[in-house]
């Protein structure tokens, strides 16, 4: 049973070429593909709630995950707390996540342009015109949606609370 679970998780973590093939198969089968992205360094209730709402917008949910190098450029040398393989496995373990694909760039724009999901989702702290890849998705006939975030949850705030408690 454990090996079967590990294989299921590993199969959800895909390279870009694998993800392109998977999306093609899903679309041929008439599935609505949703894409969101992020660092997801310390998985918390805010992340899980957001991802569950994103999954409800279609049939298949793909998460674009910043690689460790990308996170360091965006968040600083002390991040990520968890490496990309651990973050990918945790996300893949969520039953409503269908695939995880990593990207090296600072934004997922190029990844999104190559995958062209039916729905692109980000938190409501972004406007549609600020969302990387929105122009490409809209030009392809897709939708761009925002989801209200759960107040009081962020990896940065959790890290800061831990630092304050250990000082």
Domain range for 99: 2-166
For residue 39, give the CATH number of its domain.
Answer: 3.40.50.620
Residue 155 has pLDDT above 80, yes or no: no
Q: Determine the average pLDDT of the residues in 58-64.
A: 98
Residue (of 44, 57, 35, 52) closest to 122 by Cα position = 35
Reported as a single tens digit per residue, the pLDDT across 8-26 is 777 999 999 999 999 999 9
Residue located via tokens 């209200």: 148
Residue (of 58, 49, 132) closest to 98 by Cα position = 58
This prediction has a pTM of 0.91
**What is the rounded CA–CA span in Å between residue 61 and residue 76?**
28
| Residue 78 CB neighbour total at 10 angstroms | 9
**What is the rounded CA–CA span in Å between residue 69 and residue 51?**
23
Cis amide prior to 115 (ω within 30 degrees): no
Can you give the length of the chain in residues? 167
Question: What's the total number of domains in the chain?
Answer: 1
């Amino acid at each position: 049973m454990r090996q079967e679970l590990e294989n299921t998780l590993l199969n959800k973590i895909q390279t870009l070429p694998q993800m392109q093939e998977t999306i093609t198969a899903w679309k041929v089968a008439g599935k609505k593909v949703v894409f969101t992205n992020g660092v997801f360094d310390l998985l918390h209730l805010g992340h899980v709630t957001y991802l569950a709402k994103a999954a409800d917008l279609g049939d298949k949910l793909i998460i674009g995950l910043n690689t460790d190098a990308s996170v360091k450029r965006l968040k600083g040398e002390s991040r990520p707390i968890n490496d990309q393989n651990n973050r990918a496995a945790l996300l893949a373990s969520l039953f409503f996540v269908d695939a995880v694909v990593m990207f090296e760039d600072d934004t997922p724009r190029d990844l999104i342009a190559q995958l062209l999901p039916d729905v692109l989702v980000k938190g409501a702290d972004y406007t549609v015109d600020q969302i990387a890849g929105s122009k490409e998705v809209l030009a392809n006939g897709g939708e761009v949606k925002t989801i209200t975030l759960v107040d009081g949850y962020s990896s940065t705030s959790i890290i800061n609370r831990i630092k304050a408690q250990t000082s």
